[in-house]
Amino acid sequence: MRLQTIDGETTKLRSEIAALPKRLAALEIKLQSEKAAVEQAAKTLKDEEALKRRLESDLKDLQQKIAKLRDQMSNVKTNEEYRAFQHEIEFAEGEIRKIEDSELEGMERAEQLEQKRKAAESELKDSAKAVEIEKEDARAAAVEQQKHLGELTKRRATERALVPEELLRIYDHVAGSSRVTGVAYAQGQRCMSCHMGLRPQMWNQIRDGQIMTCESCGRLLFYDVSREPQPEPVAEKPKKRGRKAPEAGVE
């Protein structure tokens, strides 16, 4: 029973040890996605800046074009030519206004993007800090877990050395299968693991101290008289009463 308790603890501990890297990996994935969000925000901002430079260059071209047109306009001879130049200048000025509107919109977008980038960066910073703390805790926990595992392994070896080889063989066979445990209490004429009733003869043998295996689940059955319900069957009651009567008489 002690060996089974140790084996149970060991199994639980090993699954905790195995769960830790998975938890850390999940944290790492969260961190990566936040990093990607920061990079995406920075890239969008960069695209916006490139657009701004392109608009500025277009604006400059148009201004130069207008200056050139005004120059040429001073040499025209006819009203018709004059109006043609004027028309072209007005068109270019219209284009400039469109670009200026786009620039204004771009500035507003850039401002929002900058805020978004800052928020993403601060979120990442907080997460990175939280992950660092979690990792530190996990490292400390891992050290404790390994220490505990070492102790369990030692205790396990000590307990196993006390169990007869034949019983260990049965225990290992049953516990090693999908059942996990290899020992069960026999109590109230039942196997307490699979709850199968025990044949009267077997129940007697077990109570006589013989080690038997459950016919249903194969576990080693362990009898502990202290686990049996204490009030004895009804048949004993008249005896007690009979014994008490003389005592009363003595008084």
What residues line the site for Zn ion (CB under 5 A)? Answer: 191, 193-194, 196, 214, 216-217
Cβ of residue 186: shortest distance to Zn ion, in angstroms? 9
Cβ of residue 184: shortest distance to Zn ion, in angstroms? 6
CB atoms within 10 A of CB 100: 12
Phi and psi based region of residue 222 (left: phi greater than 0; alpha: psi -120 to 50; beta: remaining): beta
Nearest in space to 27 (alpha carbons), one of 154, 137, 107 = 137
Nearer to Zn ion, 85 or 222 (CB): 222
Nearer to Zn ion, 119 or 196 (CB): 196
Cβ of residue 198: shortest distance to Zn ion, in angstroms? 9
Three-state secondary-structure class, residue 197: strand
Nearer to Zn ion, 91 or 222 (CB): 222
DSSP string, 121-180: HHHHHHHHHHHHHHHHHHHHHHHHHHHHHHHHHHHHHHHHHHS-HHHHHHHHHHIIIII-
Nearer to Zn ion, 44 or 216 (CB): 216
Cβ of residue 214: shortest distance to Zn ion, in angstroms? 3
Structure tokens at 133: 């703390």
Nearer to Zn ion, 181 or 193 (CB): 193
Nearer to Zn ion, 124 or 217 (CB): 217
Nearer to Zn ion, 38 or 184 (CB): 184
Cβ of residue 168: shortest distance to Zn ion, in angstroms? 19
Contacts 24+ apart (CB under 8 A), 138-143: 138/20, 138/23, 138/24, 141/20, 142/17, 142/20
CB atoms within 10 A of CB 219: 24
Cβ of residue 210: shortest distance to Zn ion, in angstroms? 16
User: Residue 231 has what DSSP assignment?
Assistant: S
Cβ of residue 25: shortest distance to Zn ion, in angstroms? 40
CA distances from 95 to 50, 63, 76, 91 (A): 19, 10, 24, 6
CB-count burial class (<10 Å; 0-12, 13-18, 19+) for 199: exposed
